[in-house]
Amino acid sequence: MKIEVKKNILASNDSIATANRELLEQNGVTMINLMASPGAGKTSVIIKAIEGAGDELNMAVIEGDIASEVDSLTIEAMDTTALQINTGGACHLTAAMISSALEHLDLAATDLIIIENVGNLVCPAEFDLGETARVMIASTAEGHDKPYKYPLIFKEVDMVLVNKIDLLPYCDFDMDRFRSIVAELNPGVEIIELSCTEGTGTGDWSRWLLKSAAPVSG
């Protein structure tokens, strides 16, 4: 007898994700699921989002980590609400975890929630959290062939941020090749080249967030 464990887990997760999405829509909240491998610069990208869009949007951050509160404390130091979820070993966040976090936020007073998912390029792409959009970060230090190795996450996202472009002279990263591979997997997906260190592309990132979180006129 074959037991469809993964199928059942995903079905349960999707049900909760749908409820999360409906709750956010009712309150006019945009939620971004930010995914990347460890060290790609997720927290730095969130900091740039707060600096660039925080004056126009009421923002909150949900930090997902296997352990520690380092990132959430960094965000709180910027006078931005941050909730920490420690998975205790799990390699991704689930819709149930996000549902619990949403209970602790004043959604009526929130425009944008950014989820910093656990550093991983596999599992996070499989679990719907109820997000409005998915964004992934690919750093130049990881190489331009990353989309070949982890195609699902590149297929599933609405935006790709290529971070640490200030390191291009020192990395074996072909930007044109990277863009070509991503276009094969996800035609039309927007790609922003970014350097959190030098500030390159951070304005484009902030404008994308402001546009995504803007209320839809009737």
Percent of the chain whose predicted confidence (pLDDT) is above 90: 81
Write out the two tokens for 55.
Answer: 């004056």
Domain chopping of the chain, boundaries: 5-213
Q: Is the pLDDT of residue 166 over 90?
A: yes
The strand pairing partners of 113, in sequence order, are: 31, 60
Cβ neighbours of 210 (radius 10 Å): 16
Q: How confident is the model at residue 3 (pLDDT cuts 50, 70, 90)?
A: very low
In angstroms, rounded to a whole number, what is the distance separating the alpha carbons of residues 14 and 16? 5
Domain covering 5-213, topology: Rossmann fold (3.40.50)
Q: pLDDT tens-digit profile of 90-147?
A: 788 999 999 999 999 999 999 999 999 998 999 899 999 999 999 999 999 999 999 9
Q: What are 192's strand-pairing partners?
A: 161
Please give the helix or strand (H or E) that residue 151 lies within, else none: helix 151-156
Q: What is the pLDDT of residue 7?
A: 62
Angle ∠(167,170,174) on CA atoms, nearest 5: 80
Does the pLDDT value for residue 217 go beyond 80? no
Could you read off the pLDDT of 39-92 as tens digits, one per residue? 999 999 999 999 999 999 999 999 988 767 788 889 999 999 999 998 776 788
Structure tokens at 36: 């990347």
Bridge partner list, 160: 136, 191
SS3 state of residue 113 = strand
Burial per residue of 28-63, b for 16 or more beta-carbon CB atoms within 10 angstroms, e otherwise:
ebbbbbbbbbeebbbbbbbbbbbebbbeebbbbbbb
Looking at residues 153-171, what average pLDDT do you find? 97
How far is residue 52's CA from residue 54's CA, in Å, rounded to a whole number?
A: 6
Identify the pLDDT of residue 2: 41
